[in-house]
A = this chain, B = another copy of it.
Amino acid sequence: MVFLAPYTQVVEELKVKLRGMRSQYEIESSHSPIELVTGRVKPVSSILDKARRKNIPHDQIEEEMQDIAGVRVVCQFVDDIYSIASMLRARHDFDILEEKDYIKNKKNSGYRSYHVIVRYPVATIHGEKHVIAEIQIRTLAMNFWATNEHSLNYKYAGQIPENIQTRLKRAAEAAFRLDEEMAKIKDEVQEAQWIFHQYKSNANKKGGHA
């Protein structure tokens, strides 16, 4: 599809850029806030469905539909999400239009995720074009839940029966508790590392072996 070519290009470039950040952390052997990067361009049929559902005229799709180009960054801890968001803010190769924090303000369905909407200048064979793309940042637990909700939504055509919605919410709460428990462990890990470094530098002052 000619119309989607710049979106495909933006997804490819963002994937290479974000995976590159993960590689750089790995080369420097430090904890990478980025665990996994995936991307996709919304299929034409889904674009048209959404335009109909949300009453978006065809000539406003490019401006109004922000998730045609979508990149997903998955991480281990909730704190990592905010590190990645600041890394994105520090870049100069695209502008951030909007940030949506569905972690502090989770959706009714139970959906949690951090969305960064960017305007990305991409060189095409007809000159530069500015394309809107959505970067979703999530923990593994949020992603697990969202993937399941997404396939149920697809199967029920957006009308998930109430009793299943209730179960999904319970699952979302369990996923949320997982993230919370993991966050506490992260603190302990960092405290443990801090203590260890303290010990080493004290030992050095006293002339001991490190």
A interface residue numbers (CB < 8 A to B): 1-2, 5, 8-9, 12-13, 16-17, 20-21, 23-25, 27-28, 31, 35, 76, 87, 90-93, 121, 123-125, 127-128, 140-141, 143-145, 147-148, 151-152, 155-156, 161, 164, 167-168, 170-171, 174-175, 177-178, 181-182, 184-185, 188-189, 192-193
Contact = CB atoms under 8 A, between A and B. Distances in A.
B28 A2 contact: yes
19 contacts: A2-B27, A12-B20, A21-B124, A24-B124, A28-B125, A76-B151, A87-B125, A91-B128, A93-B121, A140-B143, A148-B185, A155-B193, A164-B185, A164-B188, A168-B185, A171-B181, A171-B185, A174-B174, A178-B178
Contacts of A178: 144-145, 171, 174-175, 178
A192 B16 contact: no
A23 B35 contact: no
How many copies of this chain does one complex carry?
A: 4
B2 A23 contact: no
Given A8-B23, A164-B188, A182-B171, A121 B92 contact: yes
B20 A9 contact: yes
Contacts of A25: 125
Contacts of A167: 181, 184-185
